[in-house]
Amino acid sequence: MKILSVFAVLLVALTVSAQAQQTVPTSREQVRLTFAPVVRQVAPAVVNIYTKRVIHAAASPMFADPVFRHFFGDVPGMTRDRVQSSLGSGVLIGADGTVVTNHHVIKDADEVTVVLADRREFEATIVGSDERSDLAVVKITSKGETFPTLALGDSDKIEVGDIVLAIGNPFGVGQTVTQGIVSALARTNIGVSDFRSFIQTDAAINPGNSGGALVDMDGKLIGINSAIYSKDGGSNGIGFAIPTALVRNVVASISKGGKVVRPWLGAGGQAVTSDLAQALKLARPQGVLINNVHRDSPAARGGLQNGDVVTAVQGREVDDPEAMRFRLATLPIGGDAVLTVLRDGVERKVSVRLVAPPETPPRDQTDIGGRNPFSGAVIVNINPALAEEVGIDSGQTGVLVLGVRHASLAQRLGVQPGDLILRINDKPVASVADAVQLLAGERARWSITVNRNGETMTQVIGG
């Protein structure tokens, strides 16, 4: 009985103590939760970006018809200029007026205007833009002005569940702040850029937010808002931001030379599926199975082999080729990357030197003329540097159609930019020189074979 009494006394004491701690708030400060201090810190560095583009359009559809232009040429008044305007957001990351935004915000712009949170307006110039990462850098035109900036945070340190704020100019209503959490990391199946490892958030992101800031509770920039998943154009709570791990490297490269040069690994592979994991006797599906190591590439020199499974780059896990490509793109040229590799069931480290993709063989860019199926096409030899620029496998070789002139014979026959020329008149094409030689002269019958988006197609022209 005494033991029960002691327990009863302890229970009453604990209950009273808990009730004392759960008192009713006596002031507004005790119940208020606010992000205002963070917003006050970061909002001045988030800007609105307005662009203008002059479009030369035919005054009538008839004037755009190739047959009409062939017989009548240019007729006065047949074109009419109109100005197309668009809006987006950006982030000041340099006190000198350096702004980072999305490529698609300033694409083809003739004029760029940056509007600060205090409503001051400045003209700006495009320093450089990278379509493959959907990032761009613009510079405010001013003399002696010092601008507020937002410090770049470390996107690799954030976790799912972290609270974040999205700041931008949705629908042009003005600067707007929304709050949410990090819903997921390393989303690689979002096809809005070639380097896919997005931060997913449920903070409301809408049209006009593109290029704006995703910030953490320390007031640091962790991502550039880039895209949303939506069926009607509005926010459904699924937004995507480009991590600062990539932003930092792209901005540095653009600021240094106006264009982005990324490291070349010289190896390709595929994601390890459950079937592959079973065949490779792996505990679980993970990593990238290397199946194409290019001769004399950094990967080959570093000792990477076909059949290796790359599970991490610089200690960061990778589960598919997109994630591996992203991790390499965040690293500067001139250093080394350490790849964690599974080979015959044994984990090992492979060190790879990070170098720029080479221009070997020379591109030998050639504009094809004459009377042949490729007349009006611009063709080039594929090398790693070109492959990087146009976003194809860096190990691809052969001859690529880089462009096709409007109303040319090649365009009328359906030749498209990106076509890989395989054969002309049943003879293989390995270089631009081969193609020029095989296209020389006139023939009554032509046979061309190209690879388009992985599909091989043959077309016969003439008798």
- Eight-state DSSP code of residue 356: P
Give the CA distances from residue 429 to residues 230, 372, 379, 435, 446, in Å, rounded to whole numbers and listed in that order. 44, 15, 12, 6, 14
Query: Residue 375 has what DSSP assignment?
Result: T
pLDDT (0 to 100) of residue 7: 45
DSSP state of 23: P
The 3-class secondary structure across 124-144, one letter per residue, is EEEEEEECCCCEEEEEECCCC
Assign 438 to helix, strand or coil.
helix
Coil, strand or helix at 434: helix
- Cα–Cα distance measured from residue 158 to residue 233, given in angstroms and rounded to the nearest whole number: 28
User: What pLDDT is attached to residue 189?
Assistant: 66
| Residue ranges of E strands in 3-162 | 46-58, 79-92, 98-101, 111-115, 121-130, 135-140
Instruction: Calculate the alpha carbon distances from 308 to 26, 147, 251, 351, 372 in Å.
Output: 64, 49, 33, 14, 45
| pLDDT score, position 9 | 44
- Provide the token pair at 193: 């850029």
DSSP class of residue 383 equals: -
Taken as a whole, the chain contains a residue count of 463
What pairs with residue 238 in β-bridges?
Answer: none
Amino acid, single-letter form, for residue 321: P
List, in sequence order, every residue forming a beta bridge with 224; answer none if it has no partner. 213, 242
- Token digits of residue 98: 């350096």
Q: Residue 3 has what pLDDT? A: 46
Distances (CA, A) of 440 to 301, 356, 434: 41, 36, 10
What would the two tokens of residue 323 be?
């994630």
- In whole angstroms, what separates CA 376 from the centre of its chain? 31
Helix extents (H) in 353-441: 384-390, 409-412, 432-439
28 Cα distance to chain centroid: 45
Q: Position of tokens 């109303």?
A: 407
Parallel, antiparallel, or unpaired for β 288-293 and 309-313? Answer: antiparallel
d(CA 95, CA 98): 7
Burial of 261 (0-12, 13-18, 19+ CB in 10 A): middle
- Cβ-based neighbours of 432, under 8 Å, separated by 6 or more: 364, 365, 366, 379, 380, 381, 399
Structure tokens at 447: 């046979």
Tokens 């931008």 correspond to what residue? Answer: 168
Residues with catalytic annotation? Answer: 104, 134, 210
pLDDT of residue 147: 93
User: Considering only CA atoms, which of 93, 151, 99, 152 is closest in space to residue 122?
Assistant: 99
The DSSP output letter for 40 is H
State how far the Cα of 129 lies from the Cα of 268, in Å rounded to an integer: 26
Q: Give mean pLDDT in consecutive 10-residue pieces for the chain, a chain of 463 residues.
A: 46 48 64 82 92 66 54 56 74 93 90 91 92 91 89 90 90 85 80 70 85 92 84 72 91 84 89 90 90 89 93 91 89 91 91 92 94 95 89 83 93 93 94 94 90 92 77
pLDDT of residue 262: 87
